[in-house]
Amino acid sequence: MKRQFGLIVVGDEILSGKRLDKHMPKVIELLAARGLQLAWAEYVGDVPERITAALARAFASGDIVFSTGGIGATPDDHTRQCAAAALGVALALHPEAELLIRERMQDTAREQGTAYEPDRADNIHRLNMGVFPEGATIIRNPYNKIPGFSVADVHFVPGFPVMAWPMIEAVLDARYAALFGHGHTVEKSVIVYGAMEATLTPLMQAIELAHAGVKVFSLPSVDHPQHGRHIELGVKGDAEQIEAAYQQLLEGLHGFDARLGPELVR
């Protein structure tokens, strides 16, 4: 069975519309560049019970999951604690994370021209950003050294794209290179004018029945700027599977009173 990839985006600011989610399009892009694709995504606000439930599903799924947001140390950051709760383990300051966070605090002091005070209250508080579920491994952050963490195949990164995206890319390349290209899906479709989806449904069902692993899709449009009212009808699946399915689709369409337009390959 192919490994699937999932994404969890945490944050009230996404659900309220204060910020637009940029993570899902970027994760799709990063996966596609490696011949992979996103199987599912979930958005959850800053509610511990919901975050814990989402993470419990992720850990139980066996999927490779990236979780963005909520790993800081402010009162509205709950992801680290919820990950521990979902796993049923304790939280602990990760030794390597502590070193990296202290390095960052020293860098900041030098940049500001002040003395580094390791026991100052705010610096002690910053160490909470390295408190992870027991058994976690760190994900290095090339932007400011404050790490994310992984537990098995669930990977936690900050909500800031400038930090999250290089960290996700690094995890993909370091841990999942053997999967690259194995999930590559090809789509072949044709623009159909003058047909109704209900009329085409038996043909779609017959193709899926005849070609295991191939999905047939229908994307109707009523006001497309180029094609006007039409249906984009196509098949998607592994490259070696879809050619025969697509030929069956084209042959089947000849039996309908419909005009065919451009063909598309993605």
> In total, how many domains does the chain have?
2
Specify whether 27 is located in the same domain as 142. Answer: yes
pLDDT, residue 257, reads: 77
Specify the CATH number for the domain of residue 214.
Answer: 3.30.70.260
pLDDT, residue 183, reads: 56
Specify whether 126 is located in the same domain as 201. Answer: no
Specify whether 169 is located in the same domain as 256. Answer: no
pLDDT, residue 239, reads: 77
pTM for this entry: 0.85
pLDDT, residue 99, reads: 98
Specify whether 41 is located in the same domain as 164. Answer: yes
Is the distance from CB of 52 to CB of 79 less than 8 angstroms?
no
pLDDT, residue 184, reads: 65
Q: What residue ranges of the chain have pLDDT lower than 70?
A: 1, 182-184
Last-in-domain residue among 152, 179, 206: 179
Could you tell me which of 3, 133, 137, 9 has the C-alpha nearest to residue 62?
A: 3
Q: Which domain holds residue 244?
A: 186-265
Could you tell me which of 75, 79, 56 has the C-alpha nearest to residue 148?
A: 79
pLDDT, residue 227, reads: 87
Last-in-domain residue among 179, 209, 232: 179
pLDDT, residue 62, reads: 96
The C-alpha torsion from 75 through 78 and 81 to 86, rounded to 10°, is 160
Specify whether 17 is located in the same domain as 66. Answer: yes
- pLDDT tens digit sequence for 32-69: 999 899 999 999 999 999 999 999 999 999 999 999 99
Specify whether 238 is located in the same domain as 128. Answer: no
62-97 burial, b at 16+ Cβ within 10 Å, e below that, comes to ebbbbbbbbbbeeeebbbbbbbbbbbeeebeebeeb
